[in-house]
Structure 1
């Protein structure tokens, strides 16, 4: 009864406060609550697209207690995930935690592969982490045989199956090579290996002692991973079609289990034969009902690896184009709604990590694929593709059609003609991170993340230092007034730079930006993208929170 009286009194007081707005008095206390002036910062910082703990999810595995662990390559971390709530904790953090695939051994030791560094790591039950193997480019999948022997495969940058000695006493043994890129594999009770060949659309059976390989089943578009349940039913993920299938290991007969969005990366079964899969495009972990095909989302986010971005403004609407690595995405600048234009492992495109728009053409760049692609802004059709660069981090087109490519591998900016001829415009820039059009049509602005500089480079390759002393400057954009809005990730902030005086003023601080690069990757790593609309709205990609910020002047 006392609680009821107190609540009634509080409610009556609130109504009275709101009602005072119509009383005609001018004092602060007589204003209605909704008419209070409050206070303002110069800029309002909000999430346009909320984030995730993961920078794309890849391999998954269960421990003996049916706890699930997920690996992230670009996030360089392994997470333990509560499959009921979706909450996660970091089990192994950057940089050692880069995991494309992972599995627990018989004694509880966790082993994982780091595809970008070519390394295999292990974590003993006491928490000690050590290096198992090195110098294996494209190291990808890992599994233990029933007898506890450890096997790994190379794909993309290699094509081989290896046996490793977890104790490090014996050198790696190559079991078989040039199979067609054997990906996520598993063993049956008799010790035979089953796995998918990415480039051949088959699932094969391998004798790991002799290296003999036979085809079990075919008719897949891009099979990426398999797992066996406790009854030796083989589950196969066909990523390009978003299909999960069950294959009889005796007859090779296939049965559809579920259909989801394309982009499946891995799968795992717990001790109850419950099936979980990951989707790298959607940054998702799903539980699949193997009888009905129903999928329950454990975790998911609208974006997975947000990098460079640019902006289309038309009819009062602001639309972002985002280099999201495994997807090429459009984002509504008002609602934050994300639309996938292209999806990895479904569509043919260079996996984009930076975006620059000129007129009706969009230039996307990917150091992951060493490619630069030009797309039609409206139809999104590919107009040209250039390969063979050494870790290109950004690119843009000049008015005359010349393509400028910032190449980290050589520390240079290249001029690329329509015919594909390449010349060095300027070199000696190993820290180059991002490009935008300069103060005139023949110049370009660039950031150097290692030297802490914002540069302007003319068509002769002459360099003018606009600002220096910055801590890890990455993505930026030129505002309508000519000032430069830049992500200074070393200080977790966005700043404005006067290109004439070099004066720096802070816009926003304490942002989740600036993930440290992995070994052997460009120093700008996942570009912190920045773009500014004519109205002054600033959009920023977050590689630490897998999110998009919107910063609005007040």
Structure 2
């Protein structure tokens, strides 16, 4: 289409299959790459019949001319940089780069090409290259680990495997069978993935054979899919960000597992098949249940990515730039957070800090009560009477220190004598002159006080030192 100011536009061509650029050649014709047909065409600026200048390309997306009047074009799918004779279409490979090339330019005879990753490369004589600006990731939205332990990265237009200290392109937007802009991914077997795309489809993708099978959303796309995961029984679950729903897909059927959520993003399953979803707009992670959702953790800023590691739920809180760990056994065992919780204390936006946290509604058989927590975390356990309190305190594998608080000093002393720990503080009492050490798995031996000195002494036993009774 051409236009002179004050005159109506004039259409030269229409319904071209993915044209991406234009450049006037030394012959005065307008050259344009057509990605949909892998060709470069030309037409006179005043109109007329277009002519094909080159074909059988690798999805061309730029066209320039060098000083000799030859076409220079980048190929987005193949990663080739080609020099093409416009008279006969003969091609010369100038360089082979990674797929994703998107433009080129010539500056005083020097050729530079760019990539979707942000990388800019100079093409040198003889096919050599030099990186002018290194690239990076575009929009990495999800990760998954294959059966062989390979980490895969969904980077929107690219899909990478992390190997040998770098990223290897497994697929990209213009490769055959690529499912589309990938937002969510999970590996389902060797060389097989289920993905959620920006086009609103859930798809099974096999990159090695260039196969994509749309499982749901083909006729009526979903509204902004993100996270996707597979339950132990094979149910595929994805988060529909736009409608606030959690969707289940199986055998071509679709069911709504939860609705009314505020911008759901990440989806993950625990080992026993329970589904967790990050509700980014509400600042919480929820468990999907038969009746709706239950809050697993709240008080977050913008939770997104989720990962299960053993009994631990890891949450990427992008708004706070935190990686938050939540002990699911504690949550599932019924503990109640009465103070503190995940994240840094107020006023601290960086550094390795956590909020002082207090749990209630805990029994002594729960993980959070039995395992040591090296941090500002307190567990409150109720008891019936003094004997019950002593039994709870002594029901542990450890025994480094204990504390007794009470108004009745005589009773506090009596309780302290019954506790099996190396140091007992009564009403906050502490003394560096007292021996310090543990019982059971908290270790043996003592330091501090007279007992501490004894650790450094050598004890000698002299046998027969006293005269025999018969000799007296």
TM > 0.5 between the two?
yes
1:287 is displaced (CA, Å) by 0.7
Hey, what does 1:286 align to over in structure 2? Answer: 121
Find the residue that maps to 2:86 and give its secondary structure.
coil
| Counterpart position of 1:205 | 42
TM-aligned CA deviation for residue 309 of structure 1: 1.0
Whether 1:244 aligns to 2:74 is no
Q: Structure 1, residues 103-129: CA drift from partner, whole Å, max 9, x if none? A: xxxxxxxxxxxxxxxxxxxxxxxxxxx
Matches within 5 A, 1:300-379: 300-301=134-135, 303-312=137-146, 319-331=150-162, 336-346=165-175, 348-350=177-179, 351-357=181-187, 363-375=193-205
Q: Structure 1's 361 and 465: CA in aligned 2 closer, same or farther, altered over 3 A?
A: farther
Question: What are the equivalent positions in structure 2 for 1:120-519 lying under 5 Å apart?
Answer: 162=1, 175-188=12-25, 192-210=29-47, 212-270=49-107, 272-280=108-116, 283-289=118-124, 291-301=125-135, 303-312=137-146, 319-331=150-162, 336-346=165-175, 348-350=177-179, 351-357=181-187, 363-375=193-205, 382=211, 384-386=213-215, 387=218, 388-418=221-251, 420-429=252-261, 431-438=263-270, 440-441=272-273, 443-458=274-289, 460=290, 462-481=292-311, 483-499=312-328, 500=331, 501=336, 503-505=341-343, 510=350
1:137-169 per-residue CA deviation (whole Å, 9 max, x = no partner) reads: xxxxxxxxxxxxxxxxxxxxxxxxx5578x9x8
> 5+ unaligned residues in a row in structure 2: which ranges?
352-472
**Displacement after TM superposition at 1:358 (Å):** 5.1
Structure 1 residue 308 displacement after superposition = 1.0
SS of match in other structure, 1:490: coil
Q: What are the Cα deviations for residues 357-408 of structure 1, in whole angstroms up to 9, with x where unaligned?
A: 456685443433443333579x787574334433221222222222222222
* Offset at residue 292 of structure 1 (A): 2.1
Instruction: Compute the TM-score of the two structures, normalised by the length of structure 2.
Output: 0.61
Verify the 8 A CA contact 1:370 1:389 in the aligned structure 2: yes
Q: Decide whether aligned partners of structure 1 residues 340 and 217 sit closer, same or farther in structure 2, where only a CA change above 3 A counts.
A: closer
Q: How far does residue 206 in structure 1 lie from its aligned partner after superposition? A: 2.8
Q: Contact conserved, 1:498 with 1:504, CA < 8 A, in 2?
A: no
Q: Which residue of 2 aligns with 1:116?
A: none
Counterparts of 2:270 and 2:115 in 1: how far apart (Å)?
39
Residue 190 of structure 1 and its aligned partner are, at CA, apart by 6.5
Unaligned stretches of 5+ in structure 1? 1-161, 512-554
Residue 434 of structure 1: how far off its partner (Å): 1.0
By how many angstroms is 1:470 displaced?
1.6
Instruction: Using the TM superposition, give the Cα deviation of residue 196 of structure 1 relative to its aligned residue in structure 2, in angstroms.
Output: 0.9
Distance in 2, Cα, partners of 1:337 & 1:263: 17
Distance 2:286 2:50 in 1: 56
SS of the residue corresponding to residue 504 of structure 1 reads: coil
Q: Is contact 1:331-1:337 (8 Å) kept?
A: yes
Give the SS at the match of 1:239.
Answer: coil
Structure 2 match to 1:536: none
| Structure 1 residues 267 and 366: alpha-carbon distance in aligned structure 2, compared to 1, 3 A threshold | farther
Do the aligned residues in 1 keep the contact of 2:41 with 2:54 (CA within 8 Å)?
yes
Range with bigger deviation, 463-472 or 241-250: 241-250
Deviations 1:11-56 (A, max 9, x none): xxxxxxxxxxxxxxxxxxxxxxxxxxxxxxxxxxxxxxxxxxxxxx
Q: How many pairs does the alignment contain? A: 335
CA–CA distance in structure 1, aligned partners of residues 91 and 192 of structure 2: 42
Structure 1 residue 320, shift from structure 2 partner = 1.9
- TM-superposed deviation, 1:428: 2.7
Report the secondary structure of 1:223's partner residue: coil
Q: Distance in 2 between matches of 1:363 and 1:509?
A: 37
8 Å contact from structure 2 (residues 53, 86) kept in 1: yes
Q: What's the CA shift for 1:276?
A: 0.8
Change (3 A) 1:374 1:452: same
Q: 1:414 to 1:210 in 2, by over 3 A?
A: same
Q: RCO greater where, 1 or 2, for CA within 8 Å and sep 6 or more? A: 1
Structure 1 residues 44-193: aligned runs within 5 Å: 162=1, 175-188=12-25, 192-193=29-30
Change (3 A) 1:349 1:219: closer
